């Protein structure tokens, strides 16, 4: 496939701690390693910016640790629409489950779908030409993850795939990626707590993201 990302694009990565990865809140430059964090978003951005230096791409990371879909939606104006992205990549969902099992503050599946769809609709209304990359939320069977999580996470993944089809988005199958990866090394190698990827895990994610968008 050809590239999904036109020249002169503004690319925005959104999500929770897996996207955040310690990014600076003070340095907002689209070329700064501090602004992009240390995870898959930064790794994918680095390759994009290097390989397409002539295309005047701008890349931003606005992931926030701990976010659920309701938190992402609450900041739609300041952290999505106001940045005027041409391409929006979203990875959100694990905290909607995690916070439910630990703290009784999760987001049930119907609400997750409804708010996620509203988020995409409102972003599309603000920029009818925007392109979406919707990333599959995932867990690995280790660390804090129990078997009780699995059925609910399966439903969240189905929601994201459905929304990707509905909005003509690129779908990045991160769960499938890690299901294959654990055949070569144990789950803890890829994400020690079952949620937050290791350096190797983030590298796998970056490669998958770039491949899905035609930038491999």
Q: 131 lies in a domain?
A: yes
Joined tokens for residue 9? 């694009």
**Domain of 41?**
10-212
Q: 137 lies in a domain?
A: yes
Q: 125 lies in a domain?
A: yes
CATH number of the CATH domain containing 176: 3.40.50.1110
Q: 88 lies in a domain?
A: yes
- Which of 45, 50, 6 is CA-nearest to residue 205? 45
User: What is the rounded CA–CA span in Å between residue 62 and residue 192?
Assistant: 24
pLDDT tens figures, 28-40: 766 678 899 999 9
pLDDT tens figures, 154-181: 999 999 999 999 999 999 999 999 999 9
In the 8-state DSSP scheme, what is residue 53? G
Number of C-beta neighbours around residue 136 at 10 A: 22
Q: What is the mean pLDDT of residues 99-117?
A: 97
Helices (H), 26-108: 33-36, 40-51, 69-74, 76-79, 94-101
Residues identified as active-site = 17, 193, 196
- Cα of 88 vs its chain's centroid, Å: 9
Number of domains in the chain: 1
Q: 2 lies in a domain?
A: no
User: What is the rounded CA–CA span in Å between residue 170 and residue 146?
Assistant: 29
Q: Are 86 and 11 in contact (CB under 8 A)?
A: yes
Q: 4 lies in a domain?
A: no
Q: 53 lies in a domain?
A: yes
Prediction pTM value: 0.96
pLDDT tens figures, 88-105: 999 999 999 999 999 999
- Cα of 135 vs its chain's centroid, Å: 5
User: Percent of the chain at pLDDT above 70?
Assistant: 98
Q: What is the mean pLDDT of residues 179-207?
A: 98
């Amino acid at each position: 496939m050809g590239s999904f990302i036109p020249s002169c694009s503004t690319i925005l990565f959104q999500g929770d701690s897996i996207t955040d990865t310690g990014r600076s809140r003070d340095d907002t430059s689209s070329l700064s390693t501090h602004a992009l964090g240390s995870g898959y978003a930064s790794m994918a951005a680095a390759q994009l910016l290097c390989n397409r230096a002539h295309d005047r791409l701008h890349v931003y990371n606005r992931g926030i640790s701990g976010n659920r879909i309701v938190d992402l939606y609450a900041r739609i104006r300041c952290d999505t629409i106001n940045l005027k992205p041409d391409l929006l990549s979203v990875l959100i969902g694990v905290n909607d489950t995690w916070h439910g099992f630990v703290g009784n503050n999760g987001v049930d599946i119907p609400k997750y779908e409804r708010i996620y769809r509203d988020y995409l609709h409102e972003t599309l209304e603000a920029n009818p030409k925007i392109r979406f990359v919707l990333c599959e939320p995932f867990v690995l069977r280790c660390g804090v993850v129990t078997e009780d999580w699995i059925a609910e996470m399966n439903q969240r993944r189905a929601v994201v795939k459905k929304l990707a089809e509905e909005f003509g988005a690129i779908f990045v199958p991160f769960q499938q990626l890690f299901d294959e990866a654990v055949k070569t090394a144990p789950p803890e190698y890829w994400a020690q707590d079952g949620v937050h990827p290791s350096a190797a895990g983030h590298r796998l994610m970056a490669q998958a993201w770039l491949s899905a968008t035609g930038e491999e």
